[in-house]
Structure 1
Amino acid sequence: MSSICSGKSSWAELVGAEGEVAKATIEQENPAVSAIVVLQGTNVHEDFRCSRVWVWVDANGTVISVPTIG
């Protein structure tokens, strides 16, 4: 689905980074999206949006999965 969205759509290189740093990097590399840092286990909307990237972090604030548009 990400192919319908403009700009960079995933950031594998950010796994292991600090969540807020990942958020800033994502928003700088693709200004069309808003990155949202979310604690693992939190319920989120599951609708697909080209303008959103969930940045999943653990209790230490470390990115635990590849941030991807959606």
Structure 2
Amino acid sequence: MASEDCIQGKTSWPELVGVDGKVAEATIERENPLVNAVIVVEGVAVIGFRCDRVWVRVDKDGIVSKVPSIG
């Protein structure tokens, strides 16, 4: 799944910036059931593109700090 051709459904959630990470995770998985949302604290490195994963980057307080998108 390394190709952007495999992406289906909604691909980014700019409206979730500033929202609690767990709420964002549930929203993403509800709006696109083909993906798995994964909460990641700012500063933690992540690697590898996957069309079935959305990184939900949160600050130290668990608030979404960057637009979640497939990758």
TM-score of the alignment, normalized to the shorter chain, above 0.5:
yes
Structure 2: runs of 5+ lacking an equivalent: none
1:10-60 CA distances to partner (integer Å, 9 max, x unpaired)?
Answer: 000000000000000000000000000000001212x21110000000000
Superposition TM-score, scaled by structure 1 size: 0.92
Instruction: Give the 3-state SS of the residue equivalent to 1:10 in structure 2.
Output: coil
In the aligned structure 2, how far is the partner of 1:16 from the partner of 1:2?
Answer: 27
Identity among equivalent positions (%) equals 55
**How far apart are residue 63 of structure 1 and its match?**
0.2
Aligned Cα root-mean-square deviation (Å):
1.4
